[in-house]
């Protein structure tokens, strides 16, 4: 049946109004949460005070319980729900942008919520798989073994084999999309009001949106697991769970059940006779292979995602967060690693130049001095005495100070390396990740200088520059034609002036309004004193009417100023 145009337009208008109302309500929740946790000054700086209730604007704007800003931020993000928890977890990897005290708190963010009721789980599975739960599985455990904001995990039996089934929370994608639209809006406000070269807020939110949307599609996590399984198939000591594609969709993920002991349960591992030193080296070796050979690594190797089976095999789970590195980035990382181990300051700077984005006014002399001070703390130490976590933290502090923006995958790699080193030292006090990583880095650099690889690069460069030279005459001819025809235009774009123009427009409007109110008051005063025109209760009607109109518009102006938060 064809829908009438008027009804179709009405539906679109209703949806648009409803969407704006949902956004406004969510904006108010965010504003009140920030205020409650002592971040009211942010609302003032971003001109979002008008979102707060009147009583909060007029009486007490800021609340602060005296705790650290990192703790208050963590509590605020947890209160705001799954999107903001995920945002905090992503920011916890960005030591190049955020100070270490805040990162330490963000790493404690909890993503645990009450589980979904089983009837809802059953309905979600049956809709996704197109059959009843009993037909889909031989057995299914009603109570989840883990629950998070995006989904929860159940044990089940499929074709006689024990499996785990991840089920996405119904409606979570709409909640996250609404929050992402709001975060984009806030990021644009920050970008317009504050000029910073350390990070681009809009790019940061867009990157976050891409990551969280990947988590909303379980087939992506399934493909990640399958790729890890293929990459590490040669290593019998590393176990990647098998994916059951017949029972996997965008909202349902079914994989092999891994039974083992968490890698940080030292006493249990010792009781089972597991060689802890061998486990530490195996885990670090596997991770360096992922980074330096495959360019595809597990982005969250915390102890809960690394299990040790009874025979000593290491198993990896949870492949929602992964890092990807192209060949060039892998080689640049190897250069940076070798530069650090050799304490080669110019080499470190050159590696950063190639792989990072430098602010326009980086003082290279000061940068070299800071790197030299950093490396001096490790001068004379042998490789076995170096700490990866300490060096990475110092390096991120230096890059943050000088406005050097690192690639997001490098920030994720830095966090993963810290986790791997922490796990390794928990298992073995003598563990040193530099000793394991150095051979991989050297092999990668040797690969760069293979004769056939050099010849291939030379051929590619020759072809690229040859194409450029072939098309250069035509492009020059087109440019000269534009000049001859007076059609060549140079466009200047002024950044940041739009906000200034809006503010000037608002200020001038308010000033004009105030002048009109003042004129009404003065004119009405003359009318009352002259006692001319019709009277009511002994007072001139025109004079009283002028006072009433002036009072109405004056109160209206005061309300507008109070709502803006600029009072």
| Enzyme catalytic residues | 300
Angle at which helix 218-231 crosses helix 201-215, to 10 degrees, equals 80
What is the rounded CA–CA span in Å between residue 392 and residue 283?
Answer: 20
Alpha carbon 142 to chain centroid distance? 33
What is the rounded CA–CA span in Å between residue 409 and residue 211?
Answer: 11
What is the rounded CA–CA span in Å between residue 156 and residue 160?
Answer: 10
- Sign of the dihedral through C-alpha 286, 292, 298, 299: positive
What is the rounded CA–CA span in Å between residue 372 and residue 375?
Answer: 5
What is the rounded CA–CA span in Å between residue 407 and residue 325?
Answer: 10
- Residues sharing a CB contact under 8 Å with residue 314, sequence separation 6 or more, in sequence order: 237, 238, 239, 263, 279, 282, 283, 286, 306, 307, 308
The angle at the Cα of 379, spanning 377 to 381, to the nearest 5 degrees, equals 105
Output the DSSP codes for 371-399: HHHHHHTTTT--GGG--HHHHHHHHHHHH
What is the rounded CA–CA span in Å between residue 366 and residue 373?
Answer: 11
Spatial contact of 257 and 246, defined as CB atoms under 8 Å apart: no
Residue 514: name the closest of 547, 542, 556 by CA: 556
What is the rounded CA–CA span in Å between residue 317 and residue 305?
Answer: 5
Q: Which residue has the tokens 């080296």?
A: 281
Q: Would strands 535-536 and 261-262 be described as parallel, antiparallel, or unpaired?
A: unpaired
Q: Which residue has the tokens 């949307």?
A: 213
């Amino acid at each position: 049946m064809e829908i009438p145009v008027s009804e179709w337009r009405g539906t679109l208008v209703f949806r648009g109004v409803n969407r704006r109302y949902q956004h406004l309500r969510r904006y108010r929740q965010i504003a009140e949460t920030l205020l409650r946790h002592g971040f009211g000054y942010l609302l003032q700086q971003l001109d979002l005070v008008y979102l707060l209730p009147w009583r909060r604007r007029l009486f007490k704007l800021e609340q602060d319980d005296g705790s650290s800003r990192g703790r208050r931020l963590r509590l605020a993000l947890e209160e705001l729900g799954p999107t903001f928890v995920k945002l905090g977890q992503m920011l916890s990897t960005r030591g190049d942008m955020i100070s270490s005290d805040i990162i330490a708190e963000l790493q404690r963010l909890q993503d645990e919520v009450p589980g979904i009721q089983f009837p809802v789980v059953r309905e979600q599975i049956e809709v996704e798989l197109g059959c009843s739960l009993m037909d889909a599985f031989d057995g299914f455990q009603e109570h989840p073994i883990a629950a998070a904001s995006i989904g929860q995990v159940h044990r089940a039996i499929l074709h006689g084999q024990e499996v785990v089934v991840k089920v996405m929370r119904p409606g979570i994608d709409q909640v996250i999309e609404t929050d992402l639209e709001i975060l984009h809006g806030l990021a644009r406000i920050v970008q317009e009001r504050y000029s910073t070269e350390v990070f681009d807020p809009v790019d940061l939110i867009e990157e976050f949106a891409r990551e969280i949307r990947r988590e909303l599609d379980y087939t992506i996590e399934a493909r990640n697991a399958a790729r890890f399984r293929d990459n590490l198939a040669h290593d019998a000591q590393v176990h990647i769970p098998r994916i059951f594609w017949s029972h996997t969709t965008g909202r349902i993920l079914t994989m092999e059940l891994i039974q083992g002991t968490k890698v940080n349960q030292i006493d249990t591992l010792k009781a089972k006779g597991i060689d802890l030193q061998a486990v530490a080296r195996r885990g670090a070796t596997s991770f360096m292979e992922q980074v330096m050979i495959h360019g595809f690594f597990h982005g969250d190797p915390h102890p809960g995602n690394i299990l040790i089976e009874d025979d000593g095999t290491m198993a990896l789970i949870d492949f929602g967060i992964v890092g990807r590195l192209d060949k060039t980035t892998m080689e640049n990382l190897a250069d940076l690693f070798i530069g650090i181990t050799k304490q080669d300051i110019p080499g470190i700077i050159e590696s950063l130049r190639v792989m990072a984005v430098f602010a326009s006014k980086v003082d290279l002399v000061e940068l070299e001095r800071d790197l030299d001070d950093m490396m001096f703390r490790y001068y004379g130490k042998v490789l076995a005495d170096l700490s990866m976590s300490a060096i990475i933290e110092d390096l991120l502090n230096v890059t943050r100070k000088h406005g050097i923006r690192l690639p997001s995958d490098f920030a994720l790699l830095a966090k993963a390396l810290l986790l791997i080193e922490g796990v390794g030292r928990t298992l073995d006090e003598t563990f040193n990740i530099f000793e394991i990583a150095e051979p991989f880095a050297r092999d990668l650099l040797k690969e760069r200088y293979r004769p056939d690889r050099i010849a291939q690069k030379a051929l590619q460069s020759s072809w690229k520059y040859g194409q450029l030279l072939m098309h250069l005459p035509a492009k020059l001819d087109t440019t000269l034609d534009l000049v001859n025809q007076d059609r060549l235009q140079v466009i200047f774009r002024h950044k940041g002036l739009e906000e200034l123009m809006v503010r000037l427009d608002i200020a001038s409007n308010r000033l004009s309004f105030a002048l009109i109110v003042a004129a009404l008051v003065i004119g009405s005063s003359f009318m009352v004193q002259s006692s001319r025109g019709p009277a009511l209760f002994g007072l001139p009607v025109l004079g009283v009417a002028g006072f009433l109109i002036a009072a109405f518009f004056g109160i209206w102006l005061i309300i507008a100023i109070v709502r803006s938060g600029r009072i």
